[in-house]
Amino acid sequence: MAERPEDLNLPNAVITRIIKEALPDGVSISKEARSAISRAASVFVLYATSCANNFAMKGKRKTLNASDVLSAMEEMEFQRFVTPLKEALEAYRREQKGKKEASEQKKKDKDKKTDSEEQDKSRDEDNDEDEERLEEEEQNEEEEVDN
């Protein structure tokens, strides 16, 4: 299904926010200018993807990877993007690693919890017995006082 670039626009709100953050305060952007940039961005993605895909095919791979995209940027003469992209990629990888570790830790904690919950249960039963004994003793004391 061939999609025209204009059909695959990125969300206007986000595009607007990126533009506003890139520009100094007090500068605004007309609707037509924003939609022009949005369309350009869609074309850019398609072009970059196609370029990256060429690199993947050269490497006899069927899956695009990050380095294909980086190579595409250089090919498209956007070398200036390469450094910030590499930094973003590192941050992304760190986060992915952190997430993986966090989920593994969560799993461990969960297992520990179920173990300790079972221990607590048996401990609680013991406690209940102790409480009952204490109450009895208190009652006895009261009785003595009354006497």
Partner 1 sequence: MGLSWEEEGNGGDAAAPQPQSLTSAPAAHLLRLPLVQVKALVKADPNVMLAGQEASFILARTVELFVETIAKDAYCCAQQGKRKTLQRRDVGNAIEAVDEFAFLEGTLD
Q: Where do contacts with partner 1 occur on this chain (CB under 8 A)?
A: 2-3, 5, 8, 10-11, 14-15, 17-19, 21-24, 26-30, 32-33, 36-37, 39-50, 52-53, 62-66, 68-70, 73, 76-78, 80-81, 84-85, 87-89, 91-96, 98-99, 102-103
- Looking at the Cβ atoms of 91 and 134, the one nearer to partner 1 is 91
Tell me the CA distances in angstroms from 41 to 31, 99, 142, one per residue in order.
15, 30, 84
Q: Which tokens sit at 113?
A: 């919890």
Least distance from C-beta 55 to partner 1, angstroms?
A: 11
- Looking at the Cβ atoms of 80 and 121, the one nearer to partner 1 is 80
> Could you give the CA distance from residue 92 to residue 46 in angstroms, rounded to a whole number?
23
Least distance from C-beta 140 to partner 1, angstroms?
A: 52
- Looking at the Cβ atoms of 74 and 135, the one nearer to partner 1 is 74
Least distance from C-beta 120 to partner 1, angstroms?
A: 26
> Could you give the CA distance from residue 80 to residue 102 in angstroms, rounded to a whole number?
34
Least distance from C-beta 69 to partner 1, angstroms?
A: 5
Contact of 68 with 56, CB cutoff 8 Å: yes
Side-chain half-sphere CA neighbours of 130 within 13 A: 6
- Looking at the Cβ atoms of 101 and 118, the one nearer to partner 1 is 101
Instruction: Give 45-53 contacts, CB < 8 A, sequence gap 24+.
Output: 46/5, 46/8, 47/76, 48/72, 48/73, 48/76, 51/75, 51/76
- Looking at the Cβ atoms of 24 and 126, the one nearer to partner 1 is 24
